[in-house]
Amino acid sequence: MGSGTQASVIGTEHTLYDLTTNEGQVVDGLVDLGNMASGDTTEIRLYMKVRSAGTLRQIYYKSYSGAQSSPIIYVPSITQAKEWRLTLKQTAGVSRNYDWAVYA
């Protein structure tokens, strides 16, 4: 469905993918944290909107610190409602590049 590489800016929440179509499809994704090193902290968030006129709300959050022994992170699959957004925010360390992919 989509993939890319995100260059992080420390303290900025980057939108990796924002899906507003394909309602009812199961969506999931992967984020590669393989470039992280000691002193780095990165957060992965997933947001959803239930109704078109509704508010985008966080439904998943996980924080990762330091070098990762299993660096490919699986973003949980969920049936997409009105909107689905995957974000990444590096909060500490040296800015890194993060590969990602979203599947439906």
How many domains, the chain?
Answer: 1
> What's the pLDDT score for residue 10?
98
Q: State the CATH number of the domain containing residue 76.
A: 2.60.120.260
**Whole-prediction pTM value?**
0.92
Residues 6+ apart with CB under 8 A from 36: 42, 64, 66, 67, 68, 71, 93, 96
> What's the pLDDT score for residue 21?
81
CA-based torsion, 39, 30, 13, 49: positive or negative: negative
> What's the pLDDT score for residue 53?
86
Q: What is the dihedral of CA 73, 20, 48, 88, to 10 degrees?
A: 40
Per-residue pLDDT of the chain (104 residues; tens, 9 = 90+): 799 999 999 999 999 999 888 678 889 999 999 999 999 999 999 999 988 888 999 999 999 999 999 999 999 888 877 889 999 999 999 999 999 999 98
Residue ranges making up the domain that contains 32 = 2-103
